[in-house]
Amino acid sequence: MMADLTDLGVKAIRDGVASGDFTAREVAEAFNAAVAGAAALNSFIVTTPDRALQAAEAVDADRSAGKPLGRLAGVPIGMKDLFCTDGVQTTAASHILEGFIPRYESTVSRKLWEAGCGMLGKLNLDQFAMGSSNETSYFGNVTSPWRKADGANTGMSPGGSSGGSSAAVAARIAPAATGTDTGGSIRQPAAFTGICGIKPTYGRCSRWGVVAFASSLDQAGPMARSVEDCALMLEAMAGFDPKDATSLDLPVPDWSAALDADLRGKKVGIPREYRMDGTDAEILEQWERGKQWLRDAGAEIVDISLPHTKYALPAYYIIAPAEASSNLARYDGVRYGLRDLPERGGLQDMYAQTRAAGFGDEVKRRVLIGTYVLSAGFYDAYYTQAQKVRALVARDFEQAWTQCDVILAPTTPTASFPLGSLSDDPLTMYLNDVFAVPASLAGLPAMSVPSGLNGEGLPLGLQLIGRPLGEQGVLNAALAIEQRAKFAARPDRWW
Amino acid sequence: MSITVETVARIASLARVRMSEAELARMAPELSGILDWVEQLEEVDTSSVEPMAAVIPNHLRLREDVVDADPLTGGGQRDAVLANAPMAEHGFFAVPKVIE
């Protein structure tokens, strides 16, 4: 048996189980133990060691019987607690859904179990996926496994909203995890923790059974420690689902088999508007290194313009809260979750009291903004205008694709920050996603790949944005960076 | 544009979220700050564009018009549907009395 199975990624585990180097059960036990020993990170809301063992035993039994194995057989993963899991509490990190035990399985999680994955547990996140630091969860902050090199032991943010996912994968307590990305919620936490994460084209992964935040933007994707592991996970997660009206009825490409870091003949666009005031100098330096790496891989670097970039974030903060205020209207204390009925209260009192008790501050803030921008007299000035700006952001990208095949940009304007340092200032927090949101508004595939550490010893990420359905181009350019950045740093265990 | 405490109270009522005076007072400047910031969208000339709702071209499908096309959502799931209800009685969701 190998020294430490928890150092292995998705592909190494799958191949090792298939070839008999170790059993799926040994892998599940190793990760279950790692999860149990990492409570200080608070990355899981509930752990499900029995589920992980059960799935592993089924894989081992199939292998003994000579049956064909799934494409991810024996790989235990973390499931973001935004995916409904049959028989396992699903909360979206909210009080209002505390105790909710779905009687059905989300399509994405079902596909992963069918591919042979096992579930280590349900991962913490920002409440209803609203946040960029994992500080809005009802079940407490997630702490990043990374710390600054200054020895002060300050608790750092793992990013958000998929902060439990990023912390778990970076800490090697899960080889991979699911995430969801509405305006950067896969890419920003991946960048903050030195791992990879890809948001595919809108419609690639079914939204069925995923707790809804902003339905025209929400998209699931994988988080793992290598580009290839992300490709393998995405192949299992993606695919047509008649139960989601926005699901794309297209075959799922064999992205992992077609991975190719030779970028000769490819053009990489550098959007000049992403060079913003306030962007950290070390981030800009990494961006320059990224250009060199892609040039070294054979690509031609071209300057491009995405003129409406500065308006993408404000448009997002109208569209996403508007959709959220509508989606979250379902939490009424009647059908599932919390009910808080004041004494002698009527139905309306029950609605208002349940939602007051069940939603956190950031969720209330966004529900109120959404309600305001959709209210009579304001709808056109805010919501319609934002949807028009969204069209212009998408048009910018369409024009860029006449000049380049993939776009290289920073993932975030800064590295991770100490927990608590921005939580009093919603606007500054929102600016974390300034580089991530444009691709979300345009529905484009986008990925973060680690590029190095900053002077404080914290990871930084580079973002690749592709054409619609251009996941392969994104993965290939990310692979070219991964091979040259040779990012091997890992957090020292303190938990 | 400044959002008053009264405006926040009106929105909170529309959104069915009970808020204390202290919460309303805290939320008003926060919402004002966010809405002031999003108002920069007014600068953008959008006279030649249609509002975008769907980002990736797709077509709407119809399922087959048969009973129980998807058994999970086709009916006969009363107990599963009620399983998570905070209060269910006689096979129904139970709510406070709404008719005097």
Q: What is the pLDDT of residue A1?
A: 46
Residue numbers of chain A with a pLDDT score lower than 50: 1
- Compute, in degrees rounded to 10, the torsion defined by CA atoms B81, B86, B92, B94: -160
- Comparing alpha-carbon positions, the chain B residue that sits nearest to A440 is B55
Q: Is residue A132 among the annotated active site residues?
A: no
Helix axes A471-485, A227-237, angle to 10 degrees: 160
- Residue-range domains of chain A with CATH: 5-263 (3.90.1300.10)
Considering only CB atoms, A216 lies closest to which of B19, B42, B55, namely: B55
**A306-320 pLDDT per residue, tens:** 999 999 999 999 999
Q: What is the pLDDT of residue A3?
A: 63
Whether residue A8 contacts residue A2, with contact meaning beta carbons closer than 8 Å, is answered with: yes
| Total-model pTM | 0.97
In this complex, do A385 and B11 lie within 8 Å of one another by their Cβ atoms? no
Q: What top-level class would CATH report for the domain B5-42?
A: mainly alpha
**Residues whose CB is less than 8 angstroms from the CB of residue B93 and which lie 6 or more positions away in sequence, other chains included:** A334, A335, B82, B85, B87
**Does A161 sit behind a cis peptide bond, omega within 30 degrees of 0 on the bond before it?**
yes
Chain A interface disruption, residue of B41, B42, B60, most A CBs within 10 A: B41
Chain B interface disruption, residue of A388, A393, A467, most B CBs within 10 A: A388
Sheet holding A406-410, edge to edge: A44-47, A118-123, A76-80, A176-181, A219-224, A196-199, A446-453, A459-466, A406-410, A267-271, A300-304
For A233, which DSSP code? H
CB environment A359-391: b (16+ within 10 A), e (fewer): bbebbbbbbbbbbbbbbeeeeeebbebbbbbbb
Q: What is the pLDDT of residue B58?
A: 83
Q: Give me A212's structure tokens.
A: 């809804």
Q: What is the pLDDT of residue A212?
A: 98
Residue numbers of chain B with a pLDDT score lower than 50: none
**What ipTM was assigned to the predicted interfaces of this complex?**
0.94
Q: What gap in Å lies between CA B24 and CA B32, rounded to an integer?
A: 12
Q: What gap in Å lies between CA B41 and CA B29, rounded to an integer?
A: 20
Q: What is the pLDDT of residue B99?
A: 75
- Comparing alpha-carbon positions, the chain B residue that sits nearest to A430 is B34
Q: Is residue A185 among the annotated active site residues?
A: yes
Q: What percent of chain A has pLDDT over 90?
A: 96
The catalytically annotated residue of A43, A144, A157, A185 is A185
User: Other C-beta atoms within 10 Å of A49: how many?
Assistant: 19
Q: What is the pLDDT of residue B100?
A: 62
